[in-house]
Structure 1
Amino acid sequence: MQIFATLGFAVLYSTLVLYATKRLGFSEAQANTMMGVFGAFNYGLHLFGGYLGGRYLSNRNLFVLGMILQIIGCWILSGQSAEGLYWGLAMFLTGSGLNVTCINMMLTQRFTPDDNRRESAFLWNYAGMNLGFFIGFTGAGYFQIGEHYQALFLFATLGNIVAITITLLRWRMLADINTPLLHVNRSQFRQRMLAGLAILVILVPIIRLLLTHADFTGSFVLVVGAAIFLLLAFITLRHRPRDEQRRMTAYLMLAVGALVFWTLYQLAPMGLMLFTEYNIMRHVYGIQISPQWIQNINTLVIVFGGPLLAVGFRNLRERGWRIDIPLQFASSLFCIGLGMLVLPLGIMFAGADGMVAFKWIVISYILQSIAELLISPVGYAMIGKLAPARYQGVMMGGWMMVTGVASVLSGYVSGMMPENSGSSPALTNPGYSHIFSLLGWGSAATGLILLMLMPLLRKLISTSR
């Protein structure tokens, strides 16, 4: 399910900036803002998806409905018009934003709180998701070379159709476990289902409206993200028993570190995509490399590295090594910081025309991918470990909301990068080098702070079930 459910999102994630600038005539600044809002809605709605799935529609119902909305959205996008862009994205984002939490909740509910297989399961699940990214990026790059966008968006729907089919074939296996919806009577169940469907219908025009006011929407997402963080902090302060309160405190502290990581990581489809398009030599061994194909470096590292990391961590822990969540988070920040810092080094060795050798973007993506492996699947898995049962859906959604806020921040950072239109790599390289250096050293500093807080974090988490 995860492999095929990811395909459509991979196509839009890797193509939206190029599609908006090359086919629809958007400026780079407008495209970056649009991409920031795209990510914000996709990830920000995950919070609401946990609530809507757990209390109104059920996780498996909402997952299927989300897939259907994505199919309709891609079909509208295939019309290749600015108006179709807004309505298509509204449909797609309503679906993708709400149903990702559902599949993570369906997976985490398969395990008891003290089941050590949860981390391995999420690493395998994460590898499957990135295999879907590989298929989506590869197809997107193929169609991008000829700018066949209509065929590209129709191709994106295939994964959603397969994901729906698999879900229906395994319907009983995917039933919700211990969610609030299961504790209501039959009449209340029907009322909640109708209310949930009405919410889906209302969300589409609301998101479409917000997409046309991207600057306001970005600020709105930041305010909502801050409000949700404060709400979770308030809930944590009032929560009892104490051991659960300590675990929730650790969750909030780690969320701040994750915000820094995801802000850097979400540059890939925005400022880093444009840097790759205009400043990287992509003619390698006689082959013209599509920008989407470069993102498959990340995918391959995840697909092969995820299972290897699960096995390696298990073996090291059996030998007495203490590899835990705080250490992995700090290490990921150092790693992605280094991924940013190699780019100024590559710019330093650029040719007279300013074009940067292909190897530098490869090294950067490898380091970013290793960082992702250290933080992202472990972040999902830790929800079942740190969150009380009644808050699991909201805290899973809150964790994904961090990525949505980071996407908006990435849009702002990308806006600080040089404008490529009407310029040259030799002129834009100094600006890129400055921004990448600031990001790299900032991430390393955040990682150092987490290392200093590691004894406290371990003490808070050690009370876990």
Structure 2
Amino acid sequence: MSIIKQKLSGIPEGSAALFFIQIFATLGFAILYSTLVLYATKKLHFSVKEATAIMGVFGAFNYGLHLFGGYLGGRFISNRNLFVGGMVLQVLGCACISGGTVMQLYWGLALFLTGSGLNVTCINMMLTQRFTPEDNRREGAFLWNYAGMNLGFFIGFSAAGYYQLQEDYPSLFIFATIGNFISIVLAAVYWKTLKDRNTPLSLSTPTEFKKKMLVGLAVLFGLVPVVFYMLHQAESTAQIILAIGGLVALTLIYLTVTHADLRERRNMSAYLVFTAGNVVFWTLYQMAPTGLQLFTVSNVDRIVMGVEIAPQWIQNINTFVIVFGGPLMAMWFNQLRAKGWNIDVSVQFATALVLIGIGFLVLPLGIMLAPENGMVTFKWIFISYVFQSIGELLISPVGYAMIGRLAPAKYQGVMMGTWMLATGIASILSSDFSGMVPEASDGLPIVTNPTYSHVFGMLGWGSVAVGIVLYALMPLMRRLITSGPANDQQAEVL
């Protein structure tokens, strides 16, 4: 017992509380992420195109609001207040969705998405504030925080699958409501401990703080009807988001071409290439709760050793690969680098795209080898998720770290925001491809399998092709990612 107390005494105050808060804060998102399309199509009788369009906007807003949430928390409300306020909206959202009507779904999603999109950044900010800049325990704390998030996903996916098999959606969303409410209780218990430290807002006078708080709360709650309206116009909203993405891309290209510092211009050029690959990867990856899940429900034999596997449980394959495969991959890469292998960001991006492409290409193979009834053997969807998850391990951890290395100081905020926007764009594109899959009423698996095979094959070969292009560009990318002297006018202009 004394050893445990000694270990706990070495952890900055509040870090352990944030680990448990992260678990319960993740539950609601995990349940909605894995169930929204099934609930909309099976219970509320949305078409596949309508349901996947809503899911696309859901993903785009969730990622897009993260960056704004960090700004709102640090300068107007405080990260602690915004986190709790966001969780209150999530609780209200899940409770509203449990009512079971279309209108309650839209209002529930608007409440939940506003809260989730804005408060995810807050918990990371509260955690990093527990440490001084020179404290080397920060990395370990974030690993534990990441583990807590994955544990929350595991519990959420497991509960979602259980209630899905019972077709008891009201109880599922009440479960999410209770889970999110527990995170509020934990935050209240450790309220003083989780106080913001060293933020622009902390320098405000009491009068300034009250004024900023009112502005922040007005923004927080004012966003709900805006999101509600945009969810109602999901297809139009998706087109607007894509248009914004195109304008941001053109702006970054212009900034890159006109940037004076040659070394930084090269780094920015490399960033643009990686961003394009990032969009391709996450477009396929975010098919998991949409097109892939619909395929799994209708066209995959989910009886394994006499047990029916709920579609949401399949997404826990990803959780296991991330939790257990991450440390193993890190050790393996360290061994390869010790032997002289150059495992850099270019290798990881290209390999991730090839692996997720293979993950999709095994599905047409499974369809081709399916028995006469057309039901695909479960092992093929299992293999697909394993390949996708290994790809995530390669690309996800290095993405944000890469921005810190490649972005010039004055563009770091813009480039970080663009990286998150790219993931939102991928969510929209993923919903478009998922909208191409057959409706459940279109026929038996043997009838709908050809369409699924075409969509998965097109996506898989496309991703593999982009990965091969990145392999071919690897020498160029390594020249672009240079730490040589700035303003080297003698260097080759690329």
CA spacing shift, 1:239–1:128, aligned 2, 3 Å: farther
Secondary structure, aligned partner of 1:421:
helix
Match of 1:256 in 2: 276
8 Å CA contact 1:33, 1:411 repeated in 2: yes
Task: Confirm or deny that 1:85 pairs with 2:105.
Answer: yes
The worse-fitting range, judged by mean Cα deviation, of 110-119 and 50-59 is 110-119
8 Å CA contact 1:47, 1:101 repeated in 2: yes
Match of 2:16 in 1: none
Secondary structure, aligned partner of 1:417:
coil
Task: Confirm or deny that 1:100 pairs with 2:120.
Answer: yes
Match of 1:163 in 2: 183
CA spacing shift, 1:105–1:444, aligned 2, 3 Å: farther
Match of 1:330 in 2: 350
TM (normalized to structure 1)? Answer: 0.90
CA spacing shift, 1:285–1:365, aligned 2, 3 Å: same
Match of 2:325 in 1: 305
Aligned-partner residue type, residue 175 of structure 1: D
Task: Confirm or deny that 1:44 pairs with 2:75.
Answer: no
Question: 1:164-219: per-residue Cα shift (whole Å, max 9, x none)?
Answer: 45555276567355x65566666554433322211112110011011111111111
The worse-fitting range, judged by mean Cα deviation, of 66-75 and 115-124 is 115-124
CA spacing shift, 1:324–1:212, aligned 2, 3 Å: same
Deviation at 1:265, TM superposition (A): 0.6
Deviation at 1:36, TM superposition (A): 1.6
Match of 1:24 in 2: 44
Match of 1:404 among 424, 447, 463: 424
User: 5+ residue gaps in structure 1?
Assistant: none
CA spacing shift, 1:190–1:307, aligned 2, 3 Å: farther
Match of 1:6 among 23, 26, 29: 26
CA spacing shift, 1:338–1:253, aligned 2, 3 Å: same
Question: 1:291-318: per-residue Cα shift (whole Å, max 9, x none)?
Answer: 1111111111112122333343344444
Secondary structure, aligned partner of 1:144:
helix
Aligned-partner residue type, residue 69 of structure 2: G
The worse-fitting range, judged by mean Cα deviation, of 18-27 and 186-195 is 186-195
8 Å CA contact 2:63, 2:117 repeated in 1: yes
Structure 1 CA distance for aligned equivalents of residues 336 and 134 of structure 2: 19
Match of 1:369 in 2: 389
Deviation at 1:400, TM superposition (A): 2.1
Aligned-partner residue type, residue 381 of structure 2: I
RCO greater where, 1 or 2, for CA within 8 Å and sep 6 or more?
Answer: 1
Secondary structure, aligned partner of 2:28:
helix
Match of 2:456 among 432, 436, 452: 436
Match of 1:76 in 2: 96
TM (normalized to structure 2)? Answer: 0.85
Match of 1:175 in 2: 196
Structure 1 CA distance for aligned equivalents of residues 353 and 63 of structure 2: 20
Structure 1 CA distance for aligned equivalents of residues 27 and 458 of structure 2: 33
8 Å CA contact 1:76, 1:88 repeated in 2: yes
Task: Confirm or deny that 1:203 pairs with 2:223.
Answer: yes
RMSD over aligned Cα atoms: 3.0
Question: 1:126-170: per-residue Cα shift (whole Å, max 9, x none)?
Answer: 443222211100000111111111111111134333434555527
Question: 1:399-428: per-residue Cα shift (whole Å, max 9, x none)?
Answer: 222121111111111122223314110011
8 Å CA contact 1:386, 1:464 repeated in 2: no
CA spacing shift, 1:371–1:385, aligned 2, 3 Å: same
Aligned-partner residue type, residue 90 of structure 2: Q
Match of 1:454 in 2: 474
Task: Confirm or deny that 1:276 pairs with 2:302.
Answer: no
Match of 2:250 in 1: 230
Specify the structure having the higher radius of gyration (Cα). 2
Question: 1:40-94: per-residue Cα shift (whole Å, max 9, x none)?
Answer: 2212222322433344334443333222211111111111111100000000000
Structure 2 CA distance for aligned equivalents of residues 174 and 310 of structure 1: 34
Match of 1:154 in 2: 174
Structure 2 CA distance for aligned equivalents of residues 234 and 122 of structure 1: 35
8 Å CA contact 1:385, 1:464 repeated in 2: no
Question: What is the aligned residue count?
Answer: 464
The worse-fitting range, judged by mean Cα deviation, of 120-129 and 332-341 is 120-129
Structure 1 CA distance for aligned equivalents of residues 438 and 420 of structure 2: 30
Structure 2 CA distance for aligned equivalents of residues 250 and 185 of structure 1: 44
Secondary structure, aligned partner of 2:114:
helix
Task: Confirm or deny that 1:351 pairs with 2:368.
Answer: no
Structure 2 CA distance for aligned equivalents of residues 173 and 247 of structure 1: 37
The worse-fitting range, judged by mean Cα deviation, of 319-328 and 101-110 is 101-110
CA spacing shift, 1:408–1:438, aligned 2, 3 Å: same
Aligned-partner residue type, residue 413 of structure 1: F
Structure 2 CA distance for aligned equivalents of residues 327 and 193 of structure 1: 46
Deviation at 1:274, TM superposition (A): 0.7
Structure 2 CA distance for aligned equivalents of residues 107 and 451 of structure 1: 37
CA spacing shift, 1:176–1:346, aligned 2, 3 Å: farther
Structure 2 CA distance for aligned equivalents of residues 190 and 242 of structure 1: 46
Match of 2:399 among 367, 373, 379: 379
Deviation at 1:121, TM superposition (A): 6.4
Secondary structure, aligned partner of 2:380:
helix
Structure 1 CA distance for aligned equivalents of residues 343 and 141 of structure 2: 17
Aligned-partner residue type, residue 273 of structure 2: M
8 Å CA contact 2:129, 2:196 repeated in 1: no
Aligned-partner residue type, residue 462 of structure 2: G
Structure 2 CA distance for aligned equivalents of residues 391 and 158 of structure 1: 41
Structure 2 CA distance for aligned equivalents of residues 74 and 395 of structure 1: 33
Task: Confirm or deny that 1:292 pairs with 2:308.
Answer: no
Structure 2 CA distance for aligned equivalents of residues 326 and 438 of structure 1: 24
Aligned-partner residue type, residue 378 of structure 1: V
Question: 1:337-366: per-residue Cα shift (whole Å, max 9, x none)?
Answer: 000000010001001011100000000010
